[in-house]
Amino acid sequence: MKKLIALVGLAGAACAAVAAPDNVPLDGRALFEEKCAMCHRDMGMGTGLLQRRMDANIARLENRTDLTSEFVVMAARIGIGNMPRIPRGEASDAELRAIGDYLADSATRAP
Amino acid sequence: MKLSLPPGVSAAAMSAAFTDFASVVGAQWVLATDEDRQTYTDHFALDESRHAPAGAVVPSSVDEVREVVRIANKHRIPLWPISRGKNFGYGGAAPRLKGSVVLDLSRMKKIEVDVENGTVLVEPGVGFYDLHDYLRKNNIPLWISVPGNSWGSVAGNALDRGVGYTSYGDHTSKVCGLEVVLPDGDLVRTGMGAMDGAPTWQLYRYGFGPAWDQMFVQSNFGVVTKLGLWLMPEPESVYAIDMELDKPEDLGWMVDVLAEFRRDGTLQQAPSIGNWLRAAAVLTKRSDWYDKPGLLPDSVINAIRQRFGIGWWSASLRLYGYRDVNRAYADVITKRISAAGKVEIKTKEWERGTPVPPDPFMGYPITFPLQNANWYGGRAAHVGFSPVLPPRGDLAMEQFRRTHAIYTRYGFDYHASFAMGERHLTNVNQVLFDKDSPEMVKQANAMFIELVDDATRHRYGEYRTHLDYMDLVASTYDFNDHALRRLNEKVKAALDPNGIIAPGKNGIWSPGYEGERA
């Protein structure tokens, strides 16, 4: 635990409430930060568990280049291993799709 | 997951209720597909189907909550309110009663901070990350107390008597004022909030006459829509004393020393003395060390401890306040502990003005402790068994030995901690298991029931439990032939004659659900 804490810089999880009107495109990065970063950035349960079965460099979802939006949506709705299912009350279909698009499009993300 | 209906409710009535809910919250916020139902079950449960919901309704305001409650009364539909549904190990988002409709409050995310007085008023959807980030973003020098799983709701955690790491870690004791939708749709504010516009709602707990805050904690007497909470002013300094203890029997003297510091107020925070597996299960998994069934040999336990530098028990003390005062207290504490027994002590200090590290002892929210559920691999799961004891070393040692023997007999690795309250000791035991092993699931359930029975024989009651065991634990509170249950259910019948709000929560049922008590 101490080691985990020592490893980490501050995960930049400045979260704004995301409530965009229908005609404004959803911000996948902001939604990822609000709804996923607690587990899928540094120090998170998801990153920690993925590190147990893959290279530490790609345990962070934002470092992956092989994710598709469909896979992200499916994983969130049906859960994987320790990851519980994410209901639509927490992330709507449109929000989850925006998060999936953000993770699938590695080219637009800063390394 | 197919539609489940609560007792006495027809599919037509449920459908009519969903239509009425949609007229209030909008059709997109009534969630009743097979997939929706699956997402509101308890991912970590022994048997998810036991607590299958009929669907969920997701209001965005207190007015919508009141309307939803009125509609539920009209159609006799039981609601299961959740704040964010992250009460893992205790049921997650799932209802106690199969076929209930989850009342998901996670869209209600208002935060109002009183910077000068160090308080906050939160709606149920506000998570620990949300509140932490809000305070940091606005440069507000107040710290929150976070639990080991900070994914969840600030209000929801305090309402289930969750605990955190700092001196504000007994969360329910920091609650000051609630807003509650009653089962008939009426709206009440407790404490000073009962006076419209009072500036003291979050400052003085009791108001005038009876004080009701605790009535809505671990109960089903209303739906809390706002919760006031005191926050810690950023201290000048934090002094850390981290301790590793080498032997199982070191628990006894450590409990006695810490209990004294808690009683006399030297230590304001509630340190938790955790065994090697509490630390190890977060850092590694069993199959990396041992590939056979049955218990881990001591040689493997020693190898794990050596690899990660952890004691058989570990405990972390923290002092918050002025630097000179902290140092004086730390001197007293470390001398007394070192004189009492063999212990490895590491200390460090943080001072205001330097960066706040990402440390839960300093209010930084975390989720990594949930990694422990992956210890056995598979579809990992866990339930918590947490009896309350007097804060005495000999009793703690006896509790440890008996519980360890039961874990050993059932073939589970012992995972425990003893948290030092001001006048009590909470013995939190995690039962970790692999849900993909039916035999392990069966054994976990049998062991849990035996643990409750063992604690009850010593007259120790649990402070909190999973949906599956709410009736069992409630039945152990047995003074005068369960007089507390009679009181709870009289109050329930008076406030909620139709049994709408969270039937069965903490073993409290309404007329009409007689057959449902386990």
**Using one digit for the tens of pLDDT, what is the confidence trace for B407-434?**
999 999 999 999 999 999 999 999 998 8
Q: Does B315 touch chain A (CB under 8 A)?
A: no
Closest CA to B380 of A60, A88, A52, A4: A52
Which residue do the tokens 């997109």 mark? B28
B223 and B251 fall within a common domain: no
pLDDT computed for residue A23 by the predictor: 66
Name the token pair of B304: 């794990």
Show residues of chain B in contact with A85, CB under 8 Å.
38-39, 41, 43
Contact B371 A48 (CB under 8 A): yes
Can you give the pLDDT at residue B382?
A: 84
Contacts by B268-271 with C-beta closer than 8 Å and gap 24+?
B268/B167, B268/B319, B268/B320, B269/B165, B269/B166, B269/B167, B269/B169, B269/B317, B269/B318, B269/B319, B269/B320, B270/B163, B270/B169, B270/B170, B270/B419, B270/B420, B270/B421, B270/B422, B271/B315, B271/B316, B271/B317, B271/B318, B271/B419, B271/B420
Q: Based on the domain organization, do B60 and B202 belong to the same domain? A: no
Q: Give the list of residues 6+ apart from residue A54 with CB closer than 8 angstroms, or none.
A: none
The answer on B265 and B343 residing in a single domain is: yes
Whether this model's ipTM surpasses 0.90 comes out as yes
- Residue whose token pair is 């500036």: B199
Within-domain flag for B166: yes
Quickly list H helices, chain A: 2-7, 28-35, 37-40, 45-51, 69-78, 93-104
Q: State yes or no: pLDDT of A14 exceeds 80.
A: no
pLDDT band at B209 (very low <50, low <70, confident <90, very high): very high
Average pLDDT over residues A9-30: 57
The verdict on B444 and B492 lying in the same domain is no
Q: Is B39 on the interface with A (CB under 8 A)?
A: yes
Residue A1 pLDDT grade (very low, low, confident, very high; cuts 50, 70, 90) = very low
Residue A5 has pLDDT above 80, yes or no: no
Q: Which residue has the tokens 């300094």?
A: B237
Give B234-249 pLDDT, tens digit per residue. 999 999 999 999 999 9
Please state, for a pLDDT cut of 70, what percent of chain B lies above it: 100
Reported confidence tier of residue B199, pLDDT bands at 50, 70, 90: very high
Residues recorded for chain A: 111
Query: Tokens for B418?
Result: 């003893």
3-class state of residue B13 by DSSP: helix
For residue B261, the Cα-to-chain-centroid distance in whole angstroms is: 25
Residue type, B334: T
Average pLDDT over residues B389-393: 98
CA angle B501, B503, B509 (to 5 degrees): 120
B50 and B162 in one domain?
no
Inter-chain residue contact B282 with A48, CB threshold 8 Å: yes
Residues B159, B81 share a domain: no
Kindly state the tokens that stand for B90.
């205790």
Give the gap in angstroms from C-alpha B82 to the nearest C-alpha of chain A.
11
- pLDDT, residue B378, reads 78
Do B379 and B243 share a structural domain?
Answer: yes
Cβ atoms B236, B349 nearer than 8 A: no
B100, B154: one domain: no
Q: Which residue has the higher pLDDT, A53 or B344?
A: B344
Which residues of chain A make contact with B40, given a CB cutoff of 8 A? 87
CATH of the domain at B509: 1.10.45.10
Q: Taking all residues of chain B, what is their mean pLDDT, rounded to a whole number?
A: 96
What is the per-residue pLDDT for A15?
35
Which chain A residue is nearest to residue B151, measuring alpha carbons? A38
- Tens digits of per-residue pLDDT, B135-144? 999 999 999 9
Q: Which of A43, A78, A85 sits opposite B366 (nearest CB)?
A: A43
Find the CATH number of the domain harbouring B411. Answer: 3.40.462.10
Does residue B76 share a domain with residue B130? Answer: no
Q: Which residues of B are the active-site residues?
A: 90, 463-464
* A-B Cβ pairs (cutoff 8 Å, strict): 106
Q: Closest partner residue to B367 among A1, A34, A44, by Cβ?
A: A44
- Assign residue B6 a region (left: φ > 0; alpha: ψ between -120 and 50; beta: otherwise): beta
Q: Which two tokens stand for residue B271?
A: 């340190």
Residue B388: domain span: 237-469
pLDDT of A21 above 60: no
Q: How far is CA B225 from CA B21, B123, B304, B505, in A?
A: 18, 6, 45, 18
Chain A residue with CA closest to B432: the answer is: A82
pLDDT by residue (tens digit) across B103-155?
A: 999 999 999 999 999 999 999 999 999 999 999 999 999 999 999 999 999 99
Asked whether residue B136 is assigned to any structural domain, the reply reads yes
Write down all domains in chain A, each with its CATH number in brackets. 26-108 (1.10.760.10)
pLDDT in tens, B275-304: 999 999 999 999 999 998 788 999 999 999
Return the axis-axis angle of helices B393-410 and B250-263, rounded to nearest 10°. Answer: 130
> A-chain residues within 8 Å CB-CB of B104?
87, 89-90
Q: Which amino acid is at B90?
A: Y
Write down which residue in B200, B233, B266 finishes a domain.
Answer: B233
Same domain (yes/no): B71, B58: yes
Name the least confident of B40-44, B186-190, B216-220, B479-483: B40-44
pLDDT at position B260: 98
Confidence of residue A22 (pLDDT cuts 50, 70, 90): low
Count of structural domains, chain B = 4
| Domain final residue pick, B205, B233, B261 | B233
Specify the higher pLDDT residue, B266 or B292.
Answer: B266
Q: Tell me whether residue B86 is in a domain.
A: yes
Q: What is the pLDDT of residue B381?
A: 81
